Structure 1
Amino acid sequence: MSEKKQKKGHNSKSFDRDAKGVILLDILPLGQCINAARYCSTLDRLKEAIRRKSRGLLRKGVVLQHDNATPHSANLTQQWLQRYGWEILPHPARSPDLAPSDFHLFGPLKRHLGGMAFETEDDLISELRNWFDNLDVDFFRVGINSLLSRWQKCIDLHGDYVEK
């Protein structure tokens, strides 16, 4: 989320996953905004988490999907991605229908958190971690696999919004 669009006092949450689950959950402290430097710092932590998870067996590289937000498209970020050879899936502007987080994750997360109240930010973070840790083993695989059919629908619709 660009600094201009970040609402004062709101958290920004970033999570990276593969078909087996969450690799990194990165939550900005209340009131902080994401920028290119912070995003690259998150990518550094993600790179290390992938290295630890794969125990050095990562052979094919990383394919990353992110939108065209300013921190993602900034020169600093592009240089980072080029330095480490990470492939970026193209993401058309204003296309939340092609982001697994938007079409697969946020609905169930909102339903889970609906009606809950948290005394502290740490309580919320604890609940988020608990929810991610207890997701069905197939949850992320289903979301990532459905991306292929959503991309095809987008192509078939000449870029129009993809419905379920």
Structure 2
Amino acid sequence: MSNFVSNKEQLRTALIFCFHLEKIAAESYQLFQETYGERVPLQDTCEQWFRRFKSGDFDVTDKKHGKPPKKYEDSELQALLYEDDAQTQKQLAKQLSLLKPGETINAKRYQQQLIDLGRLLLSKRPEYQQRQHKVILFHDNAPSHKTKLVHDTLEALKWEVLPHAAYSPDLALFDYHLFASMGHALAEQRFCSYEDVKK
């Protein structure tokens, strides 16, 4: 007997040969055992392949199973994983400057984020450098947003900050519904001057 060792696909191709000879799965299994000894698929496996052949599927390669391919919405994360997909979450978080679990944004970190955003904005949108368009920032009343450090940074960047409405106790919940209804009613109207609004 030769040193030939058959692989899965070769055995499956041989099963196709037996199928075309109109052998049944049990006969094919018997022939395989006589020819190859113990290195053959189980009889149940032969029967599964014969069912596939009867349905017209003669593809002897293994079907892809498991998880669907990974999709990333973040191109920076995708680039890091493309470099080395064996990185841990901690390594990726450090490279992407993400917060650690339980860590909060303080004034210093928020200031740095604003500075980084300002740089990116100037590099990607040069029209902001000529001040043809100004940046209008709307952020909430979080303590880190209200510090002098952040206020000075926003002034240096020459960004306008929209005031965030306080949580007013004089507005009841039904007032919010009233304002929404009024907004819908006024949606189609255009006002050219302050006097038009007063009317």
Which structure's CA Rg is the greater one? 2
Q: Report if TM-score (shorter chain) is over 0.5.
A: no
TM-score range, shorter chain: 0.3 to 0.5
Greater per-residue strand proportion = 1
Length-normalised TM-score, structure 1: 0.40
Task: Determine which structure has greater relative contact order: mean sequence separation of CA pairs < 8 Å that are 6+ residues apart, divided by chain length.
Answer: 1
Length-normalised TM-score, structure 2: 0.33
